[in-house]
């Protein structure tokens, strides 16, 4: 497991209240589709899942001998407290999804119905809670929040960040830049961010400007189509790397 870095003295843009971001997660199967991953090729590699929430990716990846770590603002909480967040946030979010069902492409994401998606994600949350109860003190689940992560530079071979950066209107452009640079800082290889649209499926309007800012900061970027689209407009990920120069 990675050694945590000491706190840095620089002051990045302030993150929003962690409790204002839904505690919501997905399975390794959905991660593999949304981030174009082949889990077999990641065996023995160091992978970070940022804003991991109650996703079962870390638990399932570690079971496949991937050195996966999750980081989330709520990971300092006791398992029972996180179970409460799951119960409340899942009920609220699925009620919202049922009210806006027309923007979801369930079959394209491999689901027969919204009820099927709900059952799958509840299953992922249950696997997470069981794994967190055992491994929350072993460095597998780390408390932390963008845009300041508690890891040394170039710690992970691959960094993933899903359903966070562009989905919430709580984040402004400066925060997006700082968050992307921080994700690249802790990566020795690639960063993959999905989706590149808002919660309503509309493309992130600042993407061209963001890529220019990142290029000026020595970060190369690429928009890559993925064979996964849970929400209309969500069929692409943003891939970041340190520029070769």
The domain ranges of the chain are 24-242
Position 14 scores a pLDDT of 58
β-bridge pairing 46-50 and 187-194: unpaired
Taking the C-alpha atoms of residue 64 and residue 62, their distance in angstroms, rounded to an integer, is 5
> Residue 201: what pLDDT?
85
pLDDT for the residue numbered 108? 72
The CATH-assigned architecture of domain 24-242 is 3-Layer(aba) Sandwich (3.40)
113 secondary structure, DSSP code: S
User: Can you count the helices (H) and strands (E) in the chain?
Assistant: 6, 7
β pairing state of 219-225 and 236-242: antiparallel
pLDDT at 245: 60
What pTM was estimated for this model as a whole?
0.92
pLDDT by 10-residue block (mean), the chain, 245 residues: 58 60 92 96 98 97 98 96 96 90 82 91 97 95 96 98 90 96 98 92 94 98 93 91 85
Q: What is the pLDDT of residue 10?
A: 55
């Amino acid at each position: 497991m990675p050694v945590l870095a000491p706190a840095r003295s620089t002051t990045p843009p302030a993150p929003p209240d962690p409790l204002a971001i839904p505690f919501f997660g997905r399975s390794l199967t959905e991660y593999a589709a949304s981030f174009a991953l082949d889990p077999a090729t990641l065996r023995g590699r160091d992978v970070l899942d940022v804003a991991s929430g109650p996703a079962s990716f870390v638990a399932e990846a570690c079971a496949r001998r991937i050195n996966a770590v999750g980081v989330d603002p709520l990971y300092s909480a006791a398992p029972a407290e996180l179970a409460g967040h799951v119960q409340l946030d899942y009920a609220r979010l699925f009620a919202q999804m049922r009210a806006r069902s027309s923007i979801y492409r369930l079959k394209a994401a491999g689901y027969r119905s919204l009820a099927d998606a709900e059952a799958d994600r509840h299953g992922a949350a249950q696997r997470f809670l069981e794994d967190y109860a055992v491994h929350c003190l072993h460095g597998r689940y780390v408390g932390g929040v963008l845009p300041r992560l508690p890891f040394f530079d170039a710690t992970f071979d691959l960094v993933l960040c899903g359903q966070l950066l562009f989905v919430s209107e709580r984040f402004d452009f400066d925060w997006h830049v700082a968050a992307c640079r921080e994700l690249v800082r802790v990566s020795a290889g690639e960063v993959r961010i999905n989706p590149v649209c808002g919660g309503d499926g509309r493309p992130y309007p600042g993407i061209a400007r963001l890529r220019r800012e990142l290029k000026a900061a020595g970060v190369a970027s690429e928009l890559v189509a993925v064979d996964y689209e849970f929400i209309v407009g969500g069929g692409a990920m943003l891939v970041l790397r340190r520029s070769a120069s």
